Structure 1
């Protein structure tokens, strides 16, 4: 089957499914971005979260809190108030954890070159843990991620282990992270729009040159292919290990990643 036809089939199937997320709809702060991507022929989104502050109450038998096996005491995609956290913690019977989770977005792309445009925009906007994966069937996925997170335990076996003053301190940090997260989303959207506009102009110029001078265009295409290959090689180099380092990869994974 032609790649573009199969991509169109995947896109129709994905966008035609019901939203099975806990919220059941796209978050307000990323609706415009998601709609923009889905309106383009070369992209469609498979999942997204604008960023959130939450309190999870997990098992008191261990330190790990797994979302699928715990109680969600509080979830908000907006700045959080101390009174809301205190009220949520009163319901805790296990190990409650305060978390801030930054914006995350998964986009399936028609071609690797399309994913690289999104990847560059994401990195330039502060989402330095973003990466590209390519499946055996040719599914090219771009994940927009960052390390701009926070996770702090607050209670053990239902007993609050910190003071209200410390909770206020944590919320101040979490709310600032939420504000920065929103700015990064806006930067990403703007960078992406400008990048796609430049691509459209470049493609138009290439088309004109191809019509007027076919040999030149074939040489230009070969140069573009070499540039893409060089980009992939560089992205596979081991990143430096520091808190703000980029984690960029182009990996081949079996289907079902």
Structure 2
């Protein structure tokens, strides 16, 4: 993705956009960004490039959608430390997935990685089910999640933010909204969230606690199928959003953006600021005017020639 020229503008939005695009330009697996994945999702690149080619928008964070398996952290919270021992401190249990020591066991943004029995390698899944300790409050669950696309776009003004928001809502991204500083969040509630295993601290393997499944392989196959269906719907709505943005926010400029059936294909070199666009439109108008004058002159000459032929 090439960084557009913003003509050295000191406008705060232009400065922000320059900084973001410069960061995107140098991001790679060797030089990752601050996201868990470290780089932009490939399936979201066409939409990101389209949005960033518009002078009034820039993406600030994104995820194309993903399936993840996450081990919860330690949910015990120390409420009061006593002088004799930390172990004697009063504690309570947090509800939810956050906690110290949590980690990702598996993450993919591409449905192709959800192959047959993928979960066997993802978190050392075994068919044997032992849920005897699964109801202990402090237990650390292994959570299966499908999360749909989410995209944050900083807009130059409220008008462009409102236009983008309305387009997103019309494509079914019903959880979208406009935050402070004209930051548009585009999202949808296509999600799955289910516990599939738990960490057994009492059963050690090579000195580490083992993971006990809560569900059988048929249930994992069902979750996989439901996730694949959601991936398909997620990508369909992404394509629809890309088309509506291109058709409604670019106008004639959209013709300068290379596209295929899946949206922009490759690097966009057609970005232009407002002044460049004005000059281009002026040149196009003058060219069209000259063509019309030549056509009128040619028609006039042909009519004169025809009249002379008829009179002779």
TM-score of the superposed pair, with normalisation by structure 2: 0.58
CA distance in 1, matches of 2:154, 2:218: 44
SS of residue matched to 2:118: helix
Match status 1:162 vs 2:194: no
Moved more, 4-13 or 98-107: 4-13
Quick one: distance in 1 between partners of 2:220 and 2:74?
Answer: 20
Give the structure 1 partner of residue 69 of structure 2: 55
Q: Conserved in 1, the CA contact under 8 Å of 2:143 and 2:194? A: yes
The answer on 1:87 being equivalent to 2:121 is yes
What is the alpha-carbon distance in structure 1 between the residues aligned to residue 163 and residue 171 of structure 2?
A: 12
Q: Deviations over 1:100-149 (max 9, x none)?
A: 01000000000111011111111111111000012xxxx21000011111
Q: CA deviation at 1:12?
A: 1.4
TM-aligned CA distance change 1:183 to 1:197, over 3 Å: same
Alignment: residue pair count: 197
Give 3-state SS (helix, strand or coil) of 1:154's partner: strand
C-alpha distance in 2 between matches for 1:194 and 1:36: 11
State the shift of 1:15 in Å.
2.3
Alignment partner of 2:227: what SS?
helix
TM-score by length of 1: 0.69
2:89 matches 1:75? no
Verify the 8 A CA contact 1:97 1:151 in the aligned structure 2: yes
Please, which of 18, 38, 41 is the counterpart of residue 12 of structure 1? 18
Within 2, Cα distance between the matches of 1:180 and 1:67? 32
CA distance, structure 2, for counterparts of residue 68 and residue 107 of structure 1: 31
- Indicate the larger mover: 52-61 or 30-39: 52-61
Q: Distance in 2 between matches of 1:81 and 1:58?
A: 24
Native 8 Å contact 2:125 2:213 kept in 1: no
Greater helix share, 1 or 2? Answer: 1
Deviation at 1:69, TM superposition (A): 4.8
Aligned equivalents of 1:95 and 1:55: distance in 2?
10
Pick closer, same or farther for the CA change 1:50–1:165 going to 2, 3 Å.
same
Helix, strand or coil at the partner of 1:193: helix
- The answer on whether the counterparts of 2:148 and 2:190 sit within 8 Å (CA) in structure 1 is yes
Q: Which structure would you say has the larger Rg?
A: 2
Deviation at 1:48, TM superposition (A): 0.5
Relative to structure 1, the CA distance from residue 65 to residue 192 in structure 2 (aligned partners, 3 Å threshold; closer, same or farther) is same
- Return the alpha-carbon distance in structure 2 between the equivalents of residues 39 and 69 of structure 1: 40
Say whether 1:64 aligns with 2:102. Answer: no
Does 1:113 pair with 2:159? yes
What per-residue deviation string (whole Å, max 9, x for no partner) do you get for residues 59-91 of structure 1?
Answer: 364551138852111111122134221222217
Looking at structure 2, the residues matched to 5 and 103 of structure 1 have their Cα atoms a distance apart, in angstroms, of 30
1:145 to 2:187 alignment: yes
Q: Is the 8 A contact 1:99 1:150 kept in 2?
A: yes
User: Contact 1:60/1:156 (CA < 8 Å) preserved in 2?
Assistant: no
Gaps of 5+ in 2: 1-8, 28-32, 76-93, 127-138, 200-210, 254-277, 279-312
When the two chains are superposed, the root-mean-square deviation of aligned CA atoms in Å is 2.7
Question: Aligned partners of 1:43 and 1:13: how far apart in 2?
Answer: 13
